[in-house]
């Protein structure tokens, strides 16, 4: 049997054995009082990680689906939204908003591979006073870049805007204080920094967001990707079936195992382990004459984007790592394809032994190809 690759990509992640064990258990029913109790305990634990007293929903699907649900449930066609667009996933929020009939105003920094500043947002809002919401990606994995969500949310909430945050690749790996920062809708996933399986997108929904859902204006949300639907069933069938459809029970048990591990370790310690792996990788790669794409003060603690060395064949390097060491990294996307590679520090990729094995393999590749 071929050895399974260890994933050093920015998600999904290679999970710990205890999570795999949870996934392998006999499938349980997605309803009943015991299931409802389990479900509510899990959402309460996720609320602790979001640092919120708000409602937490568990959408079955990718983070993109949950972001679409947030946009479509709270905003009406023709509404104006400011979106931070400084990477692939910010551009995806733009595409989602445009597909829903929203009028999008881009918030872009002056310099490439840089975070949006509060001044950039303030200028957009000055020129477009009818904006109703801000959409921002916390961690832009296409670049390994962190946007200053706290500062941007402060500007947005000060003007009465809804703040919608894509925390898909930061939830569980970076500081994120939903209530203290004034975030109205925040989307995470199970299969990145939490070290859980693929398939679930937790969403926190503030009271202000529910008021937008209920404001009587026509929304384009359908039935499944409609936060109102999830709230309705969460309340109506709370004691035995607190969600509108069949849920992936095994995936939720795997997620619950991962979340309990994080809380047992301590969220601060869990984040510190990922950040330490990032620091070790940057240090080790710089010693091999690599340069980082993003300045350290704006760089992600859970994903590192790295410029290729001169004359380096990135695809050959990535393929060699897979063939010879069963290590899978991420490549560049779009204009950066073939120019950079990306190293994730989530899940098992945060283990020091895996980090050191990766750096040793990279040094070996450079020696072979020099």
DSSP string, 225-292: T-HHHHHHHHHHTTTT--SSS---HHHHHHHHHHHHHHHHH-HHHHHHHHHHHHHHHHHHHHHTT-EE
Helix (H, G, I), strand (E, B) or coil at 105: strand
pLDDT of residue 2: 52
Angle at 82 between CA 59 and CA 58, to 5 degrees: 10
Angstrom distance (rounded) from CA 97 to CA 77: 9
Specify which residues 205 forms β-bridges with.
Answer: 55, 185
Judge if 53 and 70 occupy the same domain. yes
Spatial distance between the Cα atoms of 335 and 360, rounded to a whole number of angstroms: 29
Give the tens place of pLDDT for each residue, 154-175: 999 999 999 999 999 999 999 9
Same domain, 35 and 75: yes
- Residues paired with residue 59 on neighbouring β-strands, in sequence order: 201
> What are the DSSP calls for 164-201, one per residue?
EEE-TTTTTTS---HHHHT-SEEE--SSSTT---SSEE
Cα 318 to Cα 326: distance, rounded to the nearest angstrom = 10
Query: Considering just the CA atoms, what is the radius of gyration of the chain in Å?
Result: 21
Is 182 within 8 Å of 168 (Cβ atoms)?
no
Number of domains in the chain: 2
Least Cα distance to 247 among 43, 49, 55, 96 occurs for 43
Distance CA 169, CA 190 (A): 10
State whether 240 and 270 are in the same domain. Answer: no
CATH (domain of 151)? 3.40.640.10
Q: Are residues 86 and 184 in the same domain?
A: yes
What count of other Cβ atoms lies within 10 Å of the Cβ of residue 45?
A: 18
Question: CA-CA distance, 150 to 180, in Å (whole number)?
Answer: 9
Contact 285, 133 (CB under 8 A): no
How many Å apart are CA 200 and CA 42, to the nearest integer? 12
- As separate numbers, helices (DSSP H) first and strands (DSSP E) second, the chain gives 13, 14
The CA distance from 242 to 247, in Å, is: 10
For residue 20, give both structure tokens. 């795999």
Predicted structure pTM score: 0.97
Question: Is 1 a domain residue?
Answer: no
pLDDT at 115: 98
Domain of residue 310 covers 6-12+266-369
pLDDT digits over 34-63, tens only?
A: 999 999 999 999 999 999 999 999 999 999
Q: Are residues 242 and 271 in the same domain?
A: no
Nearest CA-CA partner of 365 in 307, 325, 333, 334 = 325
Q: What is the pLDDT of residue 4?
A: 86
The DSSP element (H or E) to which 52 belongs, if any, is: none
Same domain for 33 and 103: yes
Q: What's the length of the chain?
A: 370
Inter-residue contact 340 to 143 (CB < 8 Å): no
Q: Which residues of the chain have pLDDT under 50?
A: 1
Which one, of 23, 305, 277, lies nearest residue 143 by Cα? 305
72 and 171, same domain (yes or no): yes
pLDDT at 1: 38
Q: Tell me, yes or no, whether 161 and 219 share the same domain.
A: yes
Cα 327 to Cα 358: distance, rounded to the nearest angstrom: 7
176 and 67 within one domain: yes
> Same domain, yes or no, for 179 and 307?
no
């Amino acid at each position: 049997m071929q050895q399974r690759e260890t994933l050093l990509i920015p998600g999904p992640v290679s999970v710990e054995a205890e999570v795999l064990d949870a996934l392998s258990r006999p499938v349980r029913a997605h309803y009943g009082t015991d299931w409802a109790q389990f479900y509510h305990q899990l959402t309460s634990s996720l609320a602790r990680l979001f640092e919120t007293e708000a409602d937490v929903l568990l959408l079955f699907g990718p983070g993109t689906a949950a972001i679409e649900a947030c946009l479509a449930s709270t905003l009406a066609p023709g509404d104006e939204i400011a979106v931070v667009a400084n990477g692939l996933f910010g551009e995806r929020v733009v595409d989602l908003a445009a597909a829903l009939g929203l009028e999008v105003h881009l918030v872009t920094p002056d310099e490439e591979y840089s975070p949006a500043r509060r001044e950039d947002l303030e200028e957009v809002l000055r020129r477009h006073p009818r904006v109703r919401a801000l959409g921002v990606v916390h961690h832009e994995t296409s670049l390994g870049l962190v946007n200053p969500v706290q500062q941007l949310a402060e500007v947005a909430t000060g003007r009465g805007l809804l703040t919608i945050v894509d925390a898909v690749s930061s939830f569980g790996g970076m500081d994120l204080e939903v209530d203290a920062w004034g975030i109205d809708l925040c989307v995470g996933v199970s299969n990145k920094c939490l070290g859980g399986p693929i398939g679930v997108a937790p969403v926190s929904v503030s009271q202000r967001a529910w008021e937008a859902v209920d404001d009587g204006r026509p929304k384009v949300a359908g039935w499944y990707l409609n936060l109102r639907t999830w709230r309705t069933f969460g309340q109506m069938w709370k004691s035995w079936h607190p969600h509108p459809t069949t849920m992936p029970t095994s995936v939720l048990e795997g997620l619950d195992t991962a979340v309990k591990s994080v809380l047992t370790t301590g969220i601060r310690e869990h984040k510190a382990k990922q950040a330490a792996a990032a620091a070790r990788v940057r240090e080790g790669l710089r010693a091999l004459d690599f340069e980082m794409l993003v300045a350290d003060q704006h760089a992600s603690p859970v994903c590192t984007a790295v410029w290729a060395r001169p004359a380096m064949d990135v695809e050959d390097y990535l393929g060699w790592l897979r063939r010879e060491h069963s290590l899978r990294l991420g490549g560049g996307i779009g204009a950066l394809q073939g120019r950079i590679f990306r190293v994730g520090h989530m899940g098992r990729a945060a283990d020091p032994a895996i980090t050191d094995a990766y750096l040793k393999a990279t040094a070996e590749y450079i020696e072979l190809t020099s």
